[in-house]
Chains A and B, each alone.
Chain A
Amino acid sequence: QVHLVQSEAEVRRPGASVQLSCKTSGYTFINYHVLWLRQAPGQGPEWMGLINAGNTKTKYSQKFQGRVTIVRDTSANRVYMELSRLTYEDTAVYYCVPTRDILSGFFEDWGQGTLVIVSS
């Protein structure tokens, strides 16, 4: 049974950075990819990037390239996502989503989400 616990809500000023964490359990960590998606108020989810927890290879959405970094810690079964140069438009709920088969195209397990508010 996949279990995910994401870090608590964050408030940041415009221009700042934020790092979110996702603690995973219930599966073999290195056998999965972990994706990060976000959902702005009233909108559908949006893919930001992913990491192969086995070999650390990452892939980022072109929209966030240069601003997002995803890393993993195998000793803690955690994945981290850092987003820099925040703007008001980055106010959203951020989700970590592990998947064993990224070719499946769909997502069965989602973290509970972390709210990030960008406010001056």
Chain B
Amino acid sequence: SYELTQPLSVSVALGQTARITCGGDNIRDYSVHWYQQRPGQAPTLVLYRDVNRPSGIPDRFSGSNSGNTATLTITRAQAGDEAAYYCQVWDSTAAWVFGGGTELTVL
């Protein structure tokens, strides 16, 4: 089955840039989607198909996907960005696969 690997935690200073990675074998061949989840809430889609933002998601959120790593980049980090972030792909064998999640802390 296909597996996605994320760092457990990432810290970023207020106003700086956070980068959250998602590792997978030849992940460049997949469309990667990203979700934000605040405590006690359901996940919210923040990026789809590597680089696209749903309506209402600020352009501070961007993505890239190359080689074996996809990256969610959050510029000008705000306190409200503190949350868990999950990457996700659809795999023909494993269906919908999620990473284990990364806790973002804004210092």
The answer to whether A binds B is yes
The interface residues of chain A, by DSSP majority, are classed as loop
Instruction: Given A44-B101, A45-B98, A47-B96, verify A108-B54 contact (CB < 8 Å).
Output: yes
The interface size of chain A toward B, counting residues with CB under 8 Å, comes to 19
Instruction: Given A108-B54, A112-B42, verify A44-B99 contact (CB < 8 Å).
Output: yes
Of the candidate stretches B62-70, B73-81, B87-95, the one touching chain A is B87-95
Question: Is B33 positioned at the interface, with any CB of A under 8 Å from its CB?
Answer: yes
Question: Is A107 positioned at the interface, with any CB of B under 8 Å from its CB?
Answer: yes
Interface size class of chain B, counting residues whose CB lies under 8 Å from the partner chain:
20 to 34
CB distance from B7 to the nearest CB of A (A): 13
Kindly list chain A residues whose C-beta atoms are within 8 Å of the C-beta of B54. Answer: 108
Report B3-45 residues with CB < 8 Å from chain A CB. Answer: 4, 31, 33, 35, 42-45
Nearest-neighbor residue (CB-CB) of A46 within chain B: B98
Contact code string A24-59 (vs B, CB < 8 Å = 1, else 0): 000000000001010000111111000000000000
Nearest-neighbor residue (CB-CB) of B4 within chain A: A44
A45 interface neighbour in B43, B49, B90, Cβ under 8 Å:
B43
- A44-B86 in contact (CB<8A): yes
- A106-B98 in contact (CB<8A): no
What separation, in Å, do the CA atoms of A106 and B96 have in the docked complex?
Answer: 8
Kindly list chain A residues whose C-beta atoms are within 8 Å of the C-beta of B42. Answer: 95, 110-113
Instruction: Given A45-B43, A111-B42, verify A105-B101 contact (CB < 8 Å).
Output: no
- B43-A106 in contact (CB<8A): no
CB distance from A104 to the nearest CB of B (A): 8
**17 A-B pairs (CB sep. < 8 Å):** A35-B96, A42-B101, A43-B101, A44-B98, A44-B99, A44-B100, A45-B43, A45-B98, A47-B97, A95-B42, A104-B48, A105-B96, A106-B45, A106-B90, A108-B45, A110-B42, A110-B43
Q: Which B residues lie at the A interface, using CB under 8 A?
A: 4, 31, 33, 35, 42-45, 48-49, 54, 86, 88-90, 95-101
Give 3 nearest A-B pairs by CB, closest first. Answer: A105-B90, A44-B98, A110-B42
